[in-house]
Structure 1
């Protein structure tokens, strides 16, 4: 077993997953896939050595993030890219994966609800996680989900809602440290897969950008209780008339019943 707790095969797979995510992030920033691939992959390969820096700190360590930035920048230059771009990729890879992992903060969800939305925030924090799926919770429409400001609200300093379209959401996913290429994503927000509202709804666009399977609600997404959820009309949450539309690589591939059986069964085995 390696220091990461993985055997050699598992560690190699983790390096490859980080490298692929780094390549995608580099392309989205206007760079080349191979430069981001090298920066993120080599940074992860050196993670064992980076772990020994600031070893007494079991929480988030800025020193380890800086070291990862140096490794990523150097790897990028070696592959023909820019130091600054590789440094950013290496730092993100470390900060949003290894450091969160060591702090016990890594999980299969991103919660975009404000804590002021007590019921919705609490529902998202409940343990309805699938270890093989990234759940993104938040207020949604067919074209975007609301993001969070630095003060934890869904609005900026001017009172305008923070909007995450497919491109911005994909960057959030890539930087989260909670997703690896190919992992399915479920957008737990209203209308994120509504094909009647848009020909290319948010879930479809996101699946095309990340080349993975993304599910989105065809209608409004309701929490009926702390242990059950449904997709249905805005004012009649008990009627699960909607569906979960599933998209793969930018194409609609199927639909599932709007009642969230997986979440319900968590407390009702």
Structure 2
């Protein structure tokens, strides 16, 4: 089967497809198993096949781990597609090239430049087996070409680049597409006139759907005298739309501070539902009962996006929440 496939689509493409498929099925051992049998089918000795299997297993797992590590959560060096990410790809490519019997520089430039060109940016991050295959093919052509131009073997550069895309680049593409489906949830505080802000201050929650639809809701006193209602309590409160204020906050108005959270649809809807529940009769608005700040903070907590023990949750008035968000504590 391996020989027949190699005659039809070529040995390099056969090796790439087989390696990726067997790694997906059995991890590093699957990749090693494929490479051993491929090398034997191509006429290699048993020792050469064992070596090829070991290199394939290490290569696939190395790029897989690199993809997991460079997810942008550990600082500037760990930024996806950043200098650290590209440099790590280049270094790994150089080591693999030497293990294959080539020169470090050939693999270094092939893997580094392929990553630096950002195949996901060229092809896109659309999901599906077809799109994954296109990205792998483009990476293989780029990596093989760079390897050939720098004096190495096209097949070695193509295979290494294909591995990098399959076990790293395509996983990053999945994360990018998943992020596009995330909602943005905001805890917003407006400072009062006592701090050169507006009125008595206010806090609310806002949200933006993946499609860009915005909404914002806050708990308000039922009385026209907001200050008196806040301090003494003046009957039931009411939930109102704060979209106008939310737009001001998003536009960078200095009277507002925003805490942005990336959440899934369930967490987003839970926050909105919790805020809406404050419209229930018999919930009085006041400092000693429920006010805009406590309602907003509680809604964020109930979303499940953060824990109740983290910063900001000790706030009970808008000005305090404003300062906490501004200072990050």
Would you say same fold, with TM above 0.5? Answer: no
Which protein shows a greater Rg?
Answer: 2
Structure number having the greater strand percentage = 1
Structure number having the greater helix percentage = 2
User: What is the TM-score with the length of structure 2 in the denominator?
Assistant: 0.28
User: What is the TM-score with the length of structure 1 in the denominator?
Assistant: 0.33
